[in-house]
Amino acid sequence: MSATMTRSGQTDRESRSSRPPRVAMVGAGQLARMTHQAAIALGVELRVLADSEADPAVTAGAAHLIGSPESLGDLQALAAEADVVTFDHEKIPPEHLSALEADGVLLAPSPAAKLFAQDKHAARRELSARGFPVPPFILAGTRDETERFGDEHGWPLIGKVVRGAYDGRGVFELSDLDAAVRALDEVGPFLLEPRLELRRELAVLVARSVTGEVAAYPAVETVQRDAMCREVLAPADVGHGLAEEARRLALDIATGIAATGIVAIELFETQAGLLVNELALRPHNSGHYTIEGCVTSQFEQHLRAVLGWPLGATDAVAPAVAMVNVVGPDDGSDPAARIEGALSVPGAHVHLYGKQSRPGRKLGHVTVCGDDLESARAAARRAAAALEGSS
């Protein structure tokens, strides 16, 4: 630690004003890469903890430390001389976060808030205890518990690993009790819930600053395929009442759990109303559209929030914005080689993450702003299909 560090882990104001603010980010994937772009504009020094020199934020030029989020020593080295530590993923042992916090490191979000994104069961339990609407659930550990839940809610059910799931990896449909018992053998206790009839899936991004200031973005619709987010439509084509209810719910959750930075709240719209699916306490796929589609991108907003700077306006800059993910094609080919096809689509903003192509892997996204969702979506799909080689 430098001599100017106080016990709180924050450098004092005087030394901070004489040099750029320093933000450390655990993880160096596409979220860190796009945060790096925002950091350049704001004059913030971003330093990331990367698995390798090939990570998306590193190849984009972010200052970095090669190490593992599972190593407390590596996390401490990253935190040294940073004003605040934040995250591009969930895969940090909660006990390491508590150790850093006890050391006086400023973490945004705090370990207690981050747990809402790290442990699906703890999140459901806590949100439910605080009166937020969540799907029925149990932590299934035995055949009997599973059978009782199946009798009550009917098969098929949905099982989810409690920790470490993303992009639908770790979400599995269980057709009957035998399948559930096999899953118990394979993965141990898991979160069990009914397979819900979803009218739509919505997401609301909220920024909450370390000062407590909050700002919510408009509710968006997210479209998943194979449990992975593929498209985002902004604003969600729902009535004003439902959009406002979603926004209110998201603000109440972000404030209630004292989240800091960006928090994404994924919601299910069901016949019975809105249910909270899960939270992410970091920039999120549902907010990539904000780069071109809103006054303040989620990445800039995240930096403002973790540094305690004034938050930016969250308004959309166009009547409709569509974002389509670019996913690795089955033949393993690289979308980057087909970029010209996507760039020839008028209005298409292409983002490639510099990741090696693998089937089913998120490799980039395309955003189109327009006057109506239908045409913006069609154009974004055309550009994404050109990149994926499926047009």
Decide whether 221 or 278 has the Cβ nearer to Mg ion: 278
From residue 78, how far is each of 46, 74, 83, 95, 278 by CA, in Å? 11, 6, 11, 17, 28
CB of 253 to ligand ATP, least distance (A): 15
Residues 6+ apart with CB under 8 A from 74: 49, 65, 67, 68
Rounded Cα distance, 45 and 228, in Å: 32
Could you tell me if 359 and 353 are in contact, meaning their C-beta atoms sit under 8 angstroms apart? no
Rounded Cα distance, 162 and 139, in Å: 9
Does residue 170 interact with ligand ATP by CB under 6 A?
yes
Q: Choosing among ligand ATP, Mg ion, none, which partner's interface includes residue 311 (Cβ < 5 to 8 Å by kind)?
A: none
Judged by CB under 6 A, which stretch of 12-20, 22-30, 196-204, 343-351 contacts ligand ATP?
Answer: 196-204
CA nearest to 215, candidates 226, 223, 204, 225: 204
How far from the centroid of its chain's Cα atoms is residue 121's Cα? 18
Judged by CB under 6 A, which stretch of 68-76, 159-167, 236-244, 300-308 contacts ligand ATP?
Answer: 159-167
CB of 20 to ligand ATP, least distance (A): 32
Decide whether 16 or 195 has the Cβ nearer to ligand ATP: 195
Task: Give me the residue label for tokens 């190593």.
Answer: 71
Rounded Cα distance, 246 and 282, in Å: 19
Site for Mg ion in 212-271 (CB under 5 A): 266
Site for ligand ATP in 104-143 (CB under 6 A): 135
Decide whether 90 or 300 has the Cβ nearer to Mg ion: 90
Candidates 171, 206, 220, 327; binder of ligand ATP (CB under 6 A) is 171
Cβ-closest position to ligand ATP: 227
Q: Report CA Rg, the chain.
A: 21
Given the rule CB under 5 A, which residues bind Mg ion? 266, 278
Q: Where on the chain is the footprint of ligand ATP (CB under 6 A)?
A: 135, 158, 160, 165-168, 170-171, 193, 195-196, 198, 201, 224, 227-229, 266, 277-278
